[in-house]
Amino acid sequence: MIIIKNGTIVTESESYHSDIMVENNKISCIGANLSDDNAEIIDASGMYVIPGAVDVHTHMDLQSGNSRSIDDFYTGTVAAVCGGTTSIVDHVAFGPPKCVLRHQIDEYHKLANGKAVIDYGFHGVIQHVNDGVLSDMESLAKEGISSFKIYMTYDFKLDDGSILKVLQKAKELGIIIAVHAENNDVINDLREKYVSNGCVETIYHAKSRPDHCEAEAISRVLHLAALAGDAPIYIVHTSTEKGLDEIRKARAQGQKNIFSETCTQYLTMTEEKYFEPNNNGLKYVMSPPLRKKKDIEALWKGIQDGAINVIATDHCSFNLKGDKQKGADDFTKCPNGAPGVAERVVVIFSEGVMKKKISINLFVKLLCTNPAKIYGLYPKKGSLIPGADADITIINPNPEYTITRNMLHGAVDYTCFEGMKLKGEIDTVIQNGKVAYKNNKFFGKKGNGEFIKRKIMEQ
């Protein structure tokens, strides 16, 4: 048994002083002056006690071309929990061409089982559409895979007809489709032009994926969702003002069931990063790319007015040495993706809450409660109520420090946020009723994380 005393308990709607008791992996009681002779006491005076954060956009152990991401389900979830995140929903990688829908789910059960230190779920990936895939959506949803991802770019992008079929099926089943929205033909055209003209420096990664590319794809897929009867749709990693405008426009026209996500990196860094010397700009090669100051401002505004529902990470870590550096002479050779699961909670706390861009309650809503609600984990995850899983993060708002790679606990050899000045740190993390992180040390256990059979989204 654990009792957390004297902290400020924060939910998406309230902040209040109280104690909180944890017994047998669950929150058992919240109230004043809790005591028990057998309890381990954690003093949270002056600190925020929030639900363990939920990251619904990670890519652990991802095979991409001839690179494999460096964080597997062990190191990636150690990084997560030490950074205040106590559950993830991972986007499984593409499988072999023509594979059945459950192929990658079976693979990912093998990759995560016995390794993850926190609870995890999977989004299925739809890389082609036929009757078998559509009927497997139903059977997998019953097994707790209650969301699927589609891509509008990359090798297994879906054409519009296939997207429409997937959205119609999702509407019928009441499940949600996550979409990577970028216009593939535009990207390919620009990449070819740049490379054939010798424009191979890292900045051309951003130039070959302009904001129109994202906005056009978001607009198109939202229209397809409307045609499918307002099928539930979730736009992952929204990165531009233009893209967000399309989401606003569709909602203003009355379209329902639209959810949107942005990620830590799109709120904090611009494309100037691609000019870092010694090929360090490769650290930030991710899709969509980093954008401009005006996009950052538009995204924060979207967060403040509710247009953006979730802040996730798109954690997809490749080492700079050996992997990202494959792009040193040609940006198209750099594996796409960057780490972030370890940094999200403190970076958004510091940049958002401490800089007064968002309230502490909105912070909890965006990082814990909304992702849990949208992806069928709530109230087991993302809440602080009796009966919920005892996944709790305690944040000390006072320390001021500079973040560096050495403070983090994953396998990857860099952080995108190196040198950023932060205020606020993770003090303690309780996962599944036990202390998993304290005093900058990991206390969890390999394999302790369990697969979460997710429900269908709350509507």
Instruction: Give the bridge partners for 430, in sequence order.
Output: 392, 435
Instruction: Work out whether 316 is an interface residue with ligand URP (CB under 6 A).
Output: yes
Amino acid at 247: I
Which of residues 287 and 415 has its CB atom nearest to ligand URP in the complex? 287
Instruction: Work out whether 4 is an interface residue with ligand URP (CB under 6 A).
Output: no
CA angle 168, 146, 137 (to 5 degrees): 50
Supply 45's token pair. 């005076």
Residue 179 Cβ vs Zn ion, minimum distance, rounded to whole Å: 9
Q: Identify what 87 binds: ligand URP, Zn ion, none; CB under 5 to 8 Å per kind.
A: none
Binding part of the chain for Zn ion, among 93-101, 122-130, 172-180, 253-261 by CB under 5 A, reads 172-180
Token pair 């800089």 is found at 355
Q: Identify what 55 binds: Zn ion, ligand URP, none; CB under 5 to 8 Å per kind.
A: none
Q: 82, 178, 186, 286: which one contacts ligand URP (CB under 6 A)?
A: 286
**Strand ranges inside 182-337, DSSP E:** 233-235, 258-263, 310-312
Residue 180 Cβ vs ligand URP, minimum distance, rounded to whole Å: 5
Amino acid at 98: K
Instruction: Work out whether 327 is an interface residue with ligand URP (CB under 6 A).
Output: no
Instruction: Work out whether 287 is an interface residue with ligand URP (CB under 6 A).
Output: yes
Instruction: Provide the 3-class DSSP secondary structure of residue 344.
Output: helix
Instruction: Work out whether 182 is an interface residue with ligand URP (CB under 6 A).
Output: no
Q: Identify what 187 binds: Zn ion, ligand URP, none; CB under 5 to 8 Å per kind.
A: none
The pairing of strands 2-10 and 48-51 is parallel
Instruction: Provide the 3-class DSSP secondary structure of residue 133.
Output: helix
Site string for ligand URP, 40-59 (x = CB under 6 A): -------------------x
Supply 40's token pair. 């381990």
Instruction: Work out whether 341 is an interface residue with ligand URP (CB under 6 A).
Output: no
Q: 7, 121, 337, 444: which one contacts ligand URP (CB under 6 A)?
A: 337
Q: Identify what 265 binds: ligand URP, Zn ion, none; CB under 5 to 8 Å per kind.
A: none
Q: 264, 336, 370, 393: which one contacts ligand URP (CB under 6 A)?
A: 336
Instruction: Work out whether 214 is an interface residue with Zn ion (CB under 5 A).
Output: no
Q: Shortest Cβ contact with ligand URP: which residue? A: 336
- Kindly identify the residues of this chain, within the stretch 120-179, that bind ligand URP according to CB under 6 A: none
Residue 247 Cβ vs ligand URP, minimum distance, rounded to whole Å: 18
Rounded Cα–Cα distance for residues 217 and 150 (Å)? 12
Instruction: Work out whether 180 is an interface residue with Zn ion (CB under 5 A).
Output: yes
| CA-based nearest residue to 140, from 166, 158, 161 | 166
Which of residues 59 and 409 has its CB atom nearest to ligand URP in the complex? 59
Instruction: Work out whether 71 is an interface residue with Zn ion (CB under 5 A).
Output: no
Residue 353 Cβ vs Zn ion, minimum distance, rounded to whole Å: 25
Q: 19, 314, 351, 389: which one contacts Zn ion (CB under 5 A)?
A: 314
Q: Identify what 337 binds: Zn ion, ligand URP, none; CB under 5 to 8 Å per kind.
A: ligand URP
Residue 224 Cβ vs ligand URP, minimum distance, rounded to whole Å: 19
**What distances in angstroms separate CA 458 from CA 38, 141, 292, 309, one per listed residue?**
38, 14, 35, 14
Cβ pair 77, 54 in contact under 8 A: no
Cβ pair 40, 1 in contact under 8 A: yes
Rounded Cα–Cα distance for residues 435 and 457 (Å)? 30
| CA-based nearest residue to 180, from 158, 207, 200, 212 | 158
Rounded Cα–Cα distance for residues 220 and 175 (Å)? 20
The DSSP string of 172-210 is HHT-EEEEE---HHHHHHHHHHHHHTT--STHHHHHTS-
Instruction: Work out whether 314 is an interface residue with ligand URP (CB under 6 A).
Output: yes
Which of residues 47 and 178 has its CB atom nearest to ligand URP in the complex? 178
Rounded Cα–Cα distance for residues 321 and 283 (Å)? 10
User: 62-68: long-range contacts at Cβ-Cβ below 8 A with a sequence spacing of 24 or more?
Assistant: 62/93, 62/316, 62/337, 63/93, 64/93, 64/316, 64/335, 64/336, 64/337, 65/335, 67/318, 67/323, 67/326, 67/335
Residue 180 Cβ vs Zn ion, minimum distance, rounded to whole Å: 4
Instruction: Provide the 3-class DSSP secondary structure of residue 367.
Output: helix
Residue 357 Cβ vs ligand URP, minimum distance, rounded to whole Å: 24
Which of residues 49 and 53 has its CB atom nearest to Zn ion in the complex? 53
Q: Identify what 286 binds: ligand URP, Zn ion, none; CB under 5 to 8 Å per kind.
A: ligand URP
Say how far residue 349 (Cα) sits from the centre of its chain: 15
Instruction: Work out whether 427 is an interface residue with Zn ion (CB under 5 A).
Output: no
Instruction: Work out whether 371 is an interface residue with ligand URP (CB under 6 A).
Output: no
Task: List residues near Zn ion by CB under 5 A.
Answer: 180, 314
Task: List residues near ligand URP by CB under 6 A.
Answer: 59, 180, 286-287, 314, 316, 336-337
